[in-house]
Amino acid sequence: MKKSFIDTRQHLLDIGLELMARSGFSAVGLSQILAKANVPKGSFYHYFTSKEQFANTVLAAYFDAYLQEMDQHLAHANTPQGLMPYFEHWYDSYGQECQQQRCLVVKLSAEVADLSDDMRLTLVNGSQAIIDKLEHALLAQQADLQPQAMRLANHLYQLWLGASLLTKLQRSKQPLDLALIQTQQWLSQWQRPCH
């Protein structure tokens, strides 16, 4: 039985995510993607106009899935400390060797920023969507502190993105350990009533 359009397209995206998370964008050739996916070159161009457009679609799908998973972690965040399961999950996921393609943003951000404006913008928009979700969760606690919530959400994301990069560079969980401690402190302070 022949694979459907959606199945083949999704299969290519899954393979692309796996390979790019492991090796980056530039190091993964189209022939490598096609060989691993067992899809002919002509079929690839039926779904995607170029490797860049394919990679951009991989990134967009990655963020869609990530944001849905993030919603699950934040669904019961009734207090600022309720955000900790999200960051603990980040700690567990990024502290390993790119398990489940968690480090795709860390892996590709610096690499594609100068190669592809479309991919750069997808990374910018996806990262901003993550920050917006953090801000929304903080505002659920203290709705009158919108500017502070926006700043804290940005600080948290930057802290964790930087810690993930350093963890990858140093091959040590120490940057993530420090990020977890700092996050607990910031969220504890956020929880205190302001007078």
Cβ pair 96, 173 in contact under 8 A? no
Does 170 map to a domain?
yes
Does 32 map to a domain?
no
**Chain segment 159-168, per-residue pLDDT in tens:** 999 999 898 8
Does 3 map to a domain?
no
Q: Quick one: pLDDT band at residue 103, thresholds 50, 70, 90? A: confident
Alpha-carbon span 18 to 15, nearest angstrom: 5
Domain count, the chain: 1
Does 142 map to a domain?
yes
For residue 116, give its domain range.
51-191
Q: How high is the pLDDT of residue 1?
A: 39
Q: How high is the pLDDT of residue 82?
A: 86
Q: How many helices (H) and strands (E) does the chain have?
A: 9, 0
Does 11 map to a domain?
no
Whether the pTM exceeds 0.85: the reply is yes
Alpha-carbon span 88 to 168, nearest angstrom: 17
Instruction: Look up the CATH number of the domain holding residue 93.
Output: 1.10.357.10
Does 29 map to a domain?
no
DSSP string, 137-178: HHHTT-TT-HHHHHHHHHHHHHHHHHHHHHHHHHT-SHHHHH
64-68, 100-104, 136-140 — which is least confidently predicted? Answer: 100-104
Does 14 map to a domain?
no
Does 22 map to a domain?
no
